[in-house]
Chain A
């Protein structure tokens, strides 16, 4: 049994097992799930690079599974994030209903993602892609209100994406007679221009839906918001990366073989940039923490797409670096938000506030998380964004760099809002008894942020496997060392120096603030003098988490008004109305049906020359 079949066998086997154990030994269920993902992670880590590991045929299709550096990178990402999310689930999901269902679908989703990254042919890629879609759909509808509509929207978009991939698949199959990667990569350029271009576009649409690039992102915010938090971490961190995984392959293995490559790249880069900018604005105006993070994810994926689409070695490196990091920090943030939800029962930023003293570890996670997202040194986000800006400037994308930079700056707004609303500000009576979450939930969050810190200081640790993955994509990596990255003009950027300077700066600031705080600080109660003498009542809102960015919203609201989501909804309602009318073709009246038969016969006879080419 080769390693890949082992991995798939273990995850899917464990999926069934957890479902059965749920009814027999519920305790074991969680452990089995964690162990399964841990074990597969270990196998993925140890697995040798072999692009032709498992091979068999189904019908006339060659099914090939193999491991490449590119697959390995994503497989490890899936397993690590999945592992931590499952550890976190143990306490987070405790006491909830239908846990067998939850764990089974969770493991199926993870298994299908493994399947996707190890697929070396389009058939198995599509096969696992669809499994991923329905298992994540079932997790979205696991709970909460609106789950039906949200789940359905997710599925419709996924189906449109998946079927785009499928059309490309049958197109390629009809032209090349095979859809194994070996053959497709080698001969893609030999197909006619139309087929090539349409396959590339269809595949990009397909993968673009999962990576939520605009205008295909509308499913994402709500789906992220209502799925259970541990799964949201995987959803945003790993599942959406499957889209990135696919886009990488399409761009560098297929599209690069045609003359349209440069245009496809350019358009995609701009779509990515606009996605990043608009999603950031949307994120700023969210009042729900998970929705905010969801839009933030969409934005971050926009950066990754920009990086991939620019297509220079440095930009690809930046994109893959950000892809891995995003999984870590957004995973940590979703878990932290989940922890807040776990203790307070809501993720509404207008309701929750002042948790910093009650949940210090969660606060620490969130703080580190937002620092990483914003790209401030010394956390990992800095190195990634640095490389991305450089590659943009180096490849003369000056407008794009402005767009990306603007969105990156605007990101500070929502990140501040996130941390302020949830953790800072006034302590509410309602949440007086809130306690920090258990260690089983803290460890996964903290590990993930520590990872971003380590990678921030020593990006080379992560760039090592990434350069391997880039080798698979056929792009040479740029130079790097463990703690040093080179910029486009050959200058060294030493993370240690940056780390040290930042450390010193923070130290000074810390001392300054503390000293100053001791001098002039005092404890502020709700009935403080700042209310101009009026005594505020208990329920009067004194935090300004509500309508946080009202002026900003007033200024920028018009940009976000023409929502593409509403447009889709309108189409959907109109179609439904049309279908509703259409179904009255079936009137339920036997006489009408008999009429149809007669009319059909008459038409066939009358127009037989037209239809069958023979006059009666």
Chain B
């Protein structure tokens, strides 16, 4: 069997269908399947990466040539994002292996696989309606995973997510309908070549619908009300999935559409301002949070604001920096959620105030949290430093010094609330009663260790990843090239 980008969608989808069936026979095997699938997908992602850098792969489904059939476009950008998603998915699986011990395990892994299917689908597809379908798959899996713990808070969070998410889907679908009505095609590349003939007002209406629809998933202020609840009520690995995978896919969709269809400076300005507002409001709200995972959720929103700022500067450099930041955020925030998961588990409370002195009892987990905190603030020699530096330089190159200052103010706020937690962890509390000794399982430590290692290695040697991102950034900026590739011209 030749490896092809189709596997990114087909294999996890198949696994998602098989898991409930296999679950009837062996619970243990169910836990292993996602690992095998994601390992395979990571292998596919890595082995296809160089191919995509040379000549993008366009996979035509069902024998209909584009623009008529559904096609998958696997260029450098898609290659990068799928690699990120599958690798992160694998690490999250390793972490989940011992973390998710509550029934129904097979449902968890089934939804997890669906989430991977949906997210890779969003990134790979060259068809806008198809994109809608994958968005829905992702969203539905995400709603259910939010409520996975089946407690009151989880259900409430999931319901909010569902409520807001249904807005997203309907607006997105409406936009797709309008696009189809005005261009007569659903193929993204074909739409792009025809979009200029569409009346400006219709185009802007479509844009607004997309902005609202995808802005909800991409956590744009003020559409991100669902996010803090969903992140904090879902099991910790799911928080990592949301921050590391789902949002990344949504931002990809938003940016792909903006760069292809709505490439006006006003749109970029608007997004820049929205990005700044999103970042500032989120960081300010994170400041006084009582619960650690809610704090992480707000921080995620803030980071997405930063990514949006970088994207909306619109130069190739800034897009490259944004993609780098997406990578770093996926890795670092996953580490933070992982560590927070066990810190919450060990302290027995979701509250930040319960973390006093845990650095002594749980040195490794606390160390990982501290590392993640330093990294996400953007301190060297950790990964977050370089992406923030690249973003700031590209923003300053575009003459937007105010934006630079605002990003840095947000960073100061970020530093305050993260270090507050870190100093609590290392606060020498003379605890009278010895807490019950619970060990962080090896798989959890392994997953965190790998992420920590990536953070340090990328922090010391960022060039490898940075250079990989260059073609990806150019692909996003250059829409003529995309049309040429996607339409097999």
Contacts and interface: CB of A to CB of B under 8 A. Distances in A.
Interface of A: 57-59, 97-98, 101, 123, 126-128, 130-131, 133-134, 137-138, 141-144, 147-148, 151-152, 155-156, 159-160, 163, 166-167, 170-171, 173-174, 576, 578-580, 582-583, 585-588, 590, 592-594, 596-601, 604-605, 608, 611-616
A616 B428 contact: no
Contacts of A142: 426
Interface string B364-393: 000000000010000111000110011011
B377 to A, nearest CB: 8
Contacts, number: 171
A95 to B, nearest CB: 14
B396 A174 contact: yes
B201 interface: yes
Contacts of A101: 426
Contacts of B286: 583
A130 B267 CA distance: 35
A138 B156 CA distance: 39
B208 A605 contact: yes
Interface of B: 156, 159-160, 163-164, 167, 171, 200-201, 203-205, 207-208, 211-212, 215-216, 222-223, 225-226, 228-229, 264, 266-267, 270, 281, 284-289, 360, 374, 379-381, 385-386, 389-390, 392-393, 395-397, 399, 401, 404-405, 408, 411-413, 415-416, 419-420, 422-424, 426-428, 461-463, 466
3 shortest A-B CB distances, which residue pairs? Answer: A593-B225, A583-B285, A170-B396
B404 A137 contact: no
A594 B226 CA distance: 9
Given A605-B205, A614-B201, A152 B171 contact: no
B284 A167 contact: no
A528 B251 CA distance: 83
28 contacts: A57-B463, A130-B379, A134-B379, A137-B419, A138-B426, A141-B422, A141-B426, A151-B423, A152-B416, A152-B420, A152-B423, A159-B415, A163-B411, A166-B392, A171-B401, A173-B397, A579-B284, A580-B287, A583-B285, A587-B225, A593-B160, A593-B226, A597-B222, A600-B223, A605-B208, A612-B264, A615-B201, A616-B204
B164 to A, nearest CB: 5
B427 A148 contact: yes
B208 A601 contact: yes
Contact of B164 (A582, A590, A599): A590
A58 B385 CA distance: 13
Contact of A98 (B360, B379, B386): B360
Contacts of A585: 222, 281, 285
Nearest to A138: B426
A599 B266 CA distance: 20
A473 B412 CA distance: 33
Nearest to A173: B393
Nearest to B265: A613
B208 A604 contact: yes
A156 B212 contact: no
Contact of B212 (A147, A587, A600, A614): A600
A597 to B, nearest CB: 5
A170 B281 CA distance: 24
Contact of B380 (A127, A144, A578): A127
Given A144-B428, A597-B223, 6 more contacts: A147-B427, A155-B415, A156-B415, A170-B404, A174-B396, A578-B284
Contact of B167 (A123, A166, A170, A597): A597
Q: From DSSP, what is the main secondary structure of chain A's interface residues? A: helix
B422 to A, nearest CB: 8
B201 A616 contact: yes
B266 A594 contact: no
A173 B392 CA distance: 10
Contact of B396 (A123, A171, A578): A171
B204 A588 contact: no
A604 B211 CA distance: 9
Given A156-B416, A163-B412, A585-B285, A612 B463 contact: no
Contacts of A605: 205, 208
B208 A583 contact: no
Contacts of B225: 586-587, 590, 592-593, 596
A605 B171 CA distance: 13
A594 B423 contact: no
Residue in A148, A593, A600 with the greatest tally of chain B CB atoms within 10 Å: A593
Nearest to B391: A170
Given A127-B380, A134-B374, A616-B205, A604 B212 contact: yes
B294 to A, nearest CB: 9
Nearest to B167: A597
A137 B397 CA distance: 32
Given A59-B386, A579-B287, A601-B171, A159 B201 contact: no
Contacts of B266: 611-613
Contact of B405 (A167, A173, A580, A588): A167
A155 B207 CA distance: 42
A173 B401 CA distance: 12
A311 B167 CA distance: 65
B164 A597 contact: yes
A104 to B, nearest CB: 11
A597 B166 CA distance: 11
Nearest to A160: B412
A583 B404 contact: no
B281 A582 contact: yes
B155 to A, nearest CB: 12
Contacts of B393: 170, 173-174
B97 to A, nearest CB: 27
Given A131-B379, A170-B392, A612-B264, A147 B408 contact: no
A141 B427 contact: yes
A147 B419 CA distance: 12
A116 to B, nearest CB: 12
Nearest to A592: B225
B376 to A, nearest CB: 13
Contacts of A59: 386, 390, 462-463, 466
Given A608-B208, A614-B200, A155 B285 contact: no
Given A127-B380, A152-B416, A147 B287 contact: no
B216 A597 contact: yes
B419 A155 contact: yes
Residue in B203, B211, B419, B462 with the greatest tally of chain A CB atoms within 10 Å: B419
A25 to B, nearest CB: 18
Residue in A170, A597, A601, A604 with the greatest tally of chain B CB atoms within 10 Å: A597
B412 A159 contact: yes
A163 B408 contact: yes
A130 B385 contact: yes
A155 B163 CA distance: 41
A351 to B, nearest CB: 22
A173 B288 contact: no
Contact of A127 (B211, B267, B385): B385
